[in-house]
Amino acid sequence: MNIRDLEYFNQLSKRLSYTVVAQDFNVSQPTVTYAIKRLETLYDCQLVIKDPSHRSVVLTQEGQLLNRHIETILEEFKITKKAIEHSKKNKLHIGFPPIIRARILSKILDNQETISALSQFNIVSGGSSRLLSQLLSGELDFSLLGSIEPLHHPSLTINLLYKREFSIFVSKDHPLASKKEISFSETLAYPFVILDESSVHLKAFQLLNQKYQNKAKVILNLPDAQTIGQVVKTNIGITLMSDFLPFSDEHDLVKIPLVESDKLYFYVQYAYLTSSLLNSQLLSFKSILDEMARQ
């Protein structure tokens, strides 16, 4: 079986025209026609029927079934090609959400062996949702990921590193500072300063806000936790944050746990394609992360 035959068939399922598919691939129409016939001979069934009234084709039930599998096969070829390219260049791509990267790096900066291992990787920064998509497409070989629920995916091997509660943080001079725990409804009278749109923290805030009819008000979206800590310290607003990344001026801030009915958690995990073969550098880095999780 020729991989190009599968590509022609997949494109035909979208374009529904031999002529257009031939133009897309810059080949003759008979080239596409013969490719489809080879597949029909291979599977001993009709995969495509002509629709003369529209000068187009439609897939038979068997053709639709084949195309579903072809899409999976072609995606696997793309992922495999990227993995081999990364391996040949000896430069693997590792995903790091910024807030997770800051915490992980702060724990390993005094470890020369770990720093040496990291220097072998191309570090890709971004939100967890985007990094997850890049991991599944083969653009990344390994990634740290944050979420508000433990991640599960049939194509991925995923290991949990940390689980941290989301809490409300306020200035030590704030009216709420004396509370031992708090419901999200009690925060609605005060403006929020939260992490920007690429963060899991924003999703946690949105979930709680939806629970209370979106009554919470956001005055600032900022890209990093340390800046948020500085703003909250001045009493301009309050924030919803996990303690995964401690604020630099934590003594000027008060952490208030959410009541049980409002509790949410920040999960930090690493993931890689189950089909991938981790090289020695990645295995070493994985072991370092596993050791950190045990501490």
Last residue of a domain, one of 66, 88, 110: 88
275 and 243 in a common domain: no
Total of domains in the chain: 3
289 and 148 in a common domain: yes
The per-residue pLDDT for 252 is 85
Closest CA to 167 of 240, 100, 227, 233: 240
Least confident of 26-35, 38-47, 105-114, 267-276: 105-114
The per-residue pLDDT for 54 is 66
Percent of the chain with pLDDT over 70: 94
Calculate Rg over the CA atoms of the chain: 26
Residue 279 Cα distances to 14, 122, 141, 196, angstroms: 38, 14, 10, 35
Indicate whether 269 pLDDT > 60. yes
The per-residue pLDDT for 153 is 94
The per-residue pLDDT for 72 is 86
| SS3 state of residue 281 | helix
DSSP string for residues in 85-112:
HHHHHT-EEEEE-HHHHHHHHHHHTT-H
150 and 8 in a common domain: no
Average confidence score pLDDT of the chain = 88
204 and 58 in a common domain: no
For the record, the structure tokens of 178 come out as 């004396």
Evaluate if pTM is beyond 0.75: no
Q: Which residues contact 79 (CB under 8 A, 6 or more apart)?
A: 137, 138, 273, 275
Indicate whether 2 pLDDT > 90. no
Indicate whether 277 pLDDT > 80. yes
For the record, the structure tokens of 146 come out as 């944050």
Mean pLDDT for the stretch of residues 126-151: 92
Least confident of 137-151, 210-224, 273-287: 273-287
Backbone angles phi, psi at 212, to 5 degrees: -115, 40
For the record, the structure tokens of 12 come out as 């035909």
The per-residue pLDDT for 1 is 72
The per-residue pLDDT for 101 is 81
Indicate whether 85 pLDDT > 90. no
β strands within 139-191, DSSP E: 142-147, 156-171
Last residue of a domain, one of 46, 66, 88: 88
Residue 116 Cα distances to 6, 95, 291, angstroms: 43, 17, 17
70 and 200 in a common domain: no
30 and 168 in a common domain: no
CATH number at residue 104: 3.40.190.10
Mean pLDDT for the stretch of residues 91-110: 80
CATH number at residue 7: 1.10.10.10
257 and 168 in a common domain: yes
Indicate whether 149 pLDDT > 80. yes
Domain extent, residue 71, equals 3-88
DSSP string for residues in 3-71:
HHHHHHHHHHHHH--HHHHHHHHTS-HHHHHHHHHHHHHHHTS--EEEEGGGTEEEE-HHHHHHHHHHH
146 and 193 in a common domain: no
254 and 168 in a common domain: yes
Mean pLDDT for the stretch of residues 69-90: 81
Indicate whether 145 pLDDT > 60. yes
133 and 271 in a common domain: yes
261 and 175 in a common domain: yes
200 and 112 in a common domain: no
The per-residue pLDDT for 89 is 65
> What is the band of 197 on the pLDDT scale with cuts at 50, 70, 90?
low
Mean pLDDT for the stretch of residues 14-36: 93
Mean pLDDT for the stretch of residues 198-219: 92
